[in-house]
């Protein structure tokens, strides 16, 4: 590779730089599109006061999953949740799924069926139908590409771009568990007995292999018009706060003391001499929701938490853009909210 082409390498511009470039390269607008590229899902106008949401995700063996420590069913589950979570982040109802895959010939079809079973199980609580897909052979790794279609009441979709200064920042569930669970799994082979895991390890690995999409929370936030902006935590808290700030042209302050951490994460961090806060900030694939809502809706947000039995914590506030994105550590010192969440093509 020449020096000049190095500057134009994927490592240099990164995933988001690339998406930005492509967005500029291909821009148009149609009256049917309420929101195009750049959010968790596209919004298309549909019938009967509904708008359609459509989103796609790609998962690559060796990058997003590893059959060395995950079963095909786990892979399917997590792929399903990654897609469902995009619909949750828009406040929508998942409806249809298209599944494309490319498989090396070494993969036995029963593994593919297992993968589909995991996908189906993740979609189980919702009425999601498989309406299409494509299969192909692959020379080496497994590739999965899922496209999900959902619906949302017209003009109620939660986007990343409507956070307002003064909004409170909320997250569902607890953060960083998936990251810790992955670290535990990576030290084991797929043939390990989960009975050999401690209760803490069982909890954390479960949070990694069986994440829960927050569909119901998203739906209630949208239906009741409570939230200004929302995103699902797939890249990691600091990255995903950054996405909302960038799209909404605002700043944010996140307070470490208020981050919801499970006791299991704290125990794991202590035992492994890790900073639990760092695990929560940088850990990707929690598939929890982050949303912003005006302070006046605080009680109503708590009511959503009570109704859905999903914990919701206020972790900070939206600030003017000039404020930047800051993190207040537990000891009160402030630091820049650094985006170290998972990005493809980065130099890590």
Query: Which 68-127 positions form the footprint of a copy of itself (CB under 8 A)?
Result: 95-96, 98, 100-103, 105-110, 112-113, 116-117, 120, 127
Q: In what order do the strands lie in the sheet with 312-319?
A: 229-232, 289-293, 168-172, 312-319, 251-255, 325-328, 334-336
Which span (6-14, 249-257, 272-280, 286-294) binds a copy of itself, by CB under 8 A?
6-14
Return the H-helix or E-strand segment holding 112. Answer: helix 109-123
Which of 76, 101, 100, 97 has the alpha carbon at shortest distance from 149?
Answer: 97
Which span (45-53, 180-188, 235-243, 266-274) binds a copy of itself, by CB under 8 A?
45-53
60 vs 197 by CB, closer to a copy of itself: 60
Report 127-156 residues binding a copy of itself (CB under 8 A). 127, 129-141, 143, 145, 147, 149
Give the list of residues 6+ apart from residue 289 with CB closer than 8 angstroms, or none. Answer: 88, 89, 170, 171, 172, 214, 217, 218, 221, 230, 231, 232, 233
Task: Give the nearest distance from C-beta 126 to a copy of itself in angstroms.
Answer: 11
Report 194-223 residues binding a copy of itself (CB under 8 A). none
DSSP 70: S
Q: Is 293 exposed, middle or buried (0-12, 13-18, 19+ CB in 10 A)?
A: buried
The C-alpha atoms of residue 169 and residue 167 are separated, in whole angstroms, by: 6
Backbone angles phi, psi at 250, to 5 degrees: -135, 175
110 vs 193 by CB, closer to a copy of itself: 110
Task: Give the nearest distance from C-beta 6 to a copy of itself in angstroms.
Answer: 9
The C-alpha atoms of residue 251 and residue 249 are separated, in whole angstroms, by: 7
Using CB under 8 A as the binding rule, whether residue 280 contacts a copy of itself is answered as no
Report 297-316 residues binding a copy of itself (CB under 8 A). none
147 vs 248 by CB, closer to a copy of itself: 147
Using CB under 8 A, pick the residue from 18, 68, 295, 302 that binds a copy of itself. Answer: 18
323 vs 345 by CB, closer to a copy of itself: 345
* Tokens encoding 37: 């590229």
Task: Give the nearest distance from C-beta 4 to a copy of itself in angstroms.
Answer: 10
6 vs 257 by CB, closer to a copy of itself: 6
Report 309-348 residues binding a copy of itself (CB under 8 A). 344-345
Return the H-helix or E-strand segment holding 210. Answer: none
Task: Give the nearest distance from C-beta 5 to a copy of itself in angstroms.
Answer: 5
Which span (9-17, 158-166, 193-201, 262-270) binds a copy of itself, by CB under 8 A?
9-17
Beta carbons of 72 and 112 less than 8 angstroms apart: yes
Using CB under 8 A as the binding rule, whether residue 42 contacts a copy of itself is answered as yes
Query: Checking DSSP bridges between strand 93-103 and strand 129-137, what pairing results, if any?
Result: parallel
Using CB under 8 A as the binding rule, whether residue 46 contacts a copy of itself is answered as yes
Task: Give the nearest distance from C-beta 231 to a copy of itself in angstroms.
Answer: 15
Task: Give the nearest distance from C-beta 248 to a copy of itself in angstroms.
Answer: 19
Beta carbons of 15 and 344 less than 8 angstroms apart: yes
Angle at 239 between CA 217 and CA 28, to 5 degrees: 85
107 vs 314 by CB, closer to a copy of itself: 107
């Amino acid at each position: 590779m020449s020096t000049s082409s190095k500057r134009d390498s994927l490592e240099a511009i990164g995933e988001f730089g690339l998406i930005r470039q492509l967005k500029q390269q291909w821009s148009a607008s149609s009256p049917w599109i309420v929101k195009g590229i750049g959010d968790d899902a596209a919004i298309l106008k549909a019938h009967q006061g509904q708008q359609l949401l459509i989103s796609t995700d790609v998962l690559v063996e060796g990058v997003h999953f590893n059959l060395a420590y995950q079963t095909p069913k786990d892979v399917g589950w997590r792929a399903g949740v990654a897609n469902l979570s995009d619909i949750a982040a828009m406040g929508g109802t998942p409806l249809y799924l298209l599944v494309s895959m490319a498989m090396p010939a070494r993969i036995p079809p029963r593994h593919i069926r297992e993968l589909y079973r995991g996908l189906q199980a993740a979609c189980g609580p919702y009425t999601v139908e498989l309406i299409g897909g494509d299969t192909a052979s692959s020379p080496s790794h497994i590739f999965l590409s899922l496209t999900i279609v959902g619906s949302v009441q017209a003009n109620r979709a939660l986007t990343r771009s409507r956070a307002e200064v003064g909004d409170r920042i909320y997250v569902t569930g607890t953060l960083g568990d998936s990251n810790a669970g992955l670290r535990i799994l990576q030290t084991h082979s797929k043939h390990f007995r989960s009975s050999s895991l401690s209760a803490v390890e069982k909890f954390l690995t479960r949070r990694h292999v069986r994440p829960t999409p927050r569909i119901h929370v998203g739906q209630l936030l949208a239906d009741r018009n409570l939230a200004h902006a929302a995103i699902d935590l797939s890249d990691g808290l600091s990255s995903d706060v950054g996405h909302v700030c960038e799209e909404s042209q605002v700043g944010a302050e996140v307070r470490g003391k208020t981050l919801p951490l499970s006791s299991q994460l704290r125990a794991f961090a202590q035992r492994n001499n890790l900073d639990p806060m760092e695990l929560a900030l940088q850990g990707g694939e929690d598939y929890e929701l982050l949303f912003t809502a005006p302070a006046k809706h605080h009680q109503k947000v708590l009511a959503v938490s009570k109704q859905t039995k999903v914990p919701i914590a206020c972790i900070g506030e939206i600030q003017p853009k000039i404020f930047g994105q800051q993190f207040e550590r537990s000891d009160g010192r402030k630091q820049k909210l650094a985006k170290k969440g998972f990005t493809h093509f980065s130099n890590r």
